[in-house]
């Protein structure tokens, strides 16, 4: 917790994947104020159609126990859009981001839950 999971239609070169997940992890940690030691970042490729068209696109799912609010979400949207445009050529209008505030009892880690 937090989790930032990205699915993209862009074929990401293997050597670029660690860099992108590292930046996503830092974005999630800094925006939510949570230690990066608790952040999980996931990158996977998927077939995506957006606005009835295929092409470069991404969907991100951001979850956290607390720290999901208008200010945090706005910061994540801005930073992710810049990252994906600069690193993968995905325009901001081809990115959706979903935010979920999860109760601690609904998040497991290390054989227990956070709540």
| 3-state SS assignment for residue 33 | coil
- Catalytic: 2? yes
**Cα radius of gyration (the chain):** 14
Cα angle 92, 59, 21 (rounded to 5 degrees) comes to: 90
Q: Report d(CA 104, CA 27) in Å as an integer.
A: 21
Q: Strands 40-45 and 95-101, how do they pair?
A: unpaired
Catalytic residue among 2, 13, 35, 91: 2
Q: Which residues are catalytic?
A: 2
């Amino acid at each position: 917790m937090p989790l930032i999971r990205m699915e993209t239609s862009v074929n990401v070169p293997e050597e670029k994947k660690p860099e992108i997940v590292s930046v996503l992890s830092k974005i999630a940690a800094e925006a939510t104020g949570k230690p990066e030691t608790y952040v999980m970042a996931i990158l996977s490729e998927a077939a995506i159609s957006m606005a009835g068209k295929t092409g470069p696109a991404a969907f991100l799912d951001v979850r956290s126990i607390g720290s999901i609010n208008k200010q945090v979400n706005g910061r994540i949207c801005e930073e992710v859009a810049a990252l994906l445009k600069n690193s993968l050529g995905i325009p901001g209008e081809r990115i959706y981001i979903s935010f979920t505030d999860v109760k601690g009892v609904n998040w497991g880690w290390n054989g227990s839950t956070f709540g």
